[in-house]
Structure 1
Amino acid sequence: MLDWNDYRKELVGRIGDLGKLTPQTLTGYKTLSGAGAQTGHLEGKTRELIALAVAVTTRCDGCIAVHVDAALKLGASREEIAEALGVAVALNAGAAMVYSARVLDAVAAHPSAAAG
């Protein structure tokens, strides 16, 4: 398995390198990623749980490393994290169902479908 703590440290360093090469990209990312916190509608822990669910659905190891750290620092429990991950699993299954319906629609629309 991945050493998540080392990976997170290396990743942050590499992102820092990117920021030196293209500072406006990093500034824009920081602005975008911090925008939700400005409204105050969701507490930080809730935002981090959402981030973990999205990290799973987008398959982003870097997001997992960073947001696990943040979620735990904000007091998220293993059980809360597991529940958020359950939402991600269900959403992925739901998306597969939706896209399965799209495949069947494409099959039905195909010219050879009328003949068969």
Structure 2
Amino acid sequence: MNKGETLLNQLAEGKVLLQKELPEAMTKFQELHDTILKDGKLSVRQKRLIGLGMALVLKCDYCIAIHLKAIKDMGIGFDEVLEVCSMAMLMHGGPGFAYSTLVARLWNEI
């Protein structure tokens, strides 16, 4: 199993565990997630790209993986993902660059 699959599987397993242990909190969190990730003034597409940029700056491997999966599932191309990476590098310097390399590696694994 590659790193992308591992991250997505770990996240899914953790979600199941938290749903069992914190059902009310997880239900509310899922409601928040679903409320935010729908078309509004910004499209879901735009929100996912913003989410990826935020995940890069926050240095969250799991967040990067889940946003990349959603982005690929939506048919968004690698060229647009690289533009998000370039903004992360501009705004976050070296760490933005380092986590952009993770995005580049994960792109073909997810």
TM (norm. structure 2) is: 0.74
Q: In 1, distance between residues paired with 2:60 and 2:11?
A: 12
Contact persistence 2:38–2:44 (CA under 8 A)? no
Contact persistence 2:57–2:88 (CA under 8 A)? yes
Q: Which amino acid aligns with 2:11?
A: L
**Which residues of structure 2 form unaligned runs of 5+?**
94-110
Alignment of 1:11-30 (within 5 A): 11-30=11-30
Note if 1:84 corresponds to 2:88.
no
Tell me by how many angstroms 1:34 deviates.
Answer: 2.2
Tell me which moved more, 30-39 or 66-75. 30-39
The aligned counterpart of 2:97 is: none
Identical amino acids, percent of aligned pairs: 25
Q: Which amino acid aligns with 1:26?
A: M
The aligned counterpart of 1:45 is: 45
Structure with larger Rg: 1
Q: Which amino acid aligns with 2:27?
A: T
The aligned counterpart of 1:104 is: none
Contact persistence 1:45–1:75 (CA under 8 A)? no
Q: In 2, distance between residues paired with 1:48 and 1:39?
A: 11
Which protein, 1 or 2, shows the higher relative CO under an 8 Å CA cutoff with sep ≥ 6?
2
The aligned counterpart of 1:10 is: 10
Q: After the TM superposition, which parts of structure 1 deviate over 3 Å for at least 4 consecutive aligned residues? A: none
The aligned counterpart of 1:68 is: 68
The aligned counterpart of 1:111 is: none
Q: Tell me how large the CA RMSD over aligned residues is.
A: 1.6
Tell me by how many angstroms 1:31 deviates.
Answer: 2.1
Q: Which amino acid aligns with 1:12?
A: A
Q: In 2, distance between residues paired with 1:33 and 1:86?
A: 26
Q: In 1, distance between residues paired with 2:58 and 2:37?
A: 21
**Which residues of structure 1 form unaligned runs of 5+?**
94-116
> What is the total number of aligned residue pairs between the two structures?
92
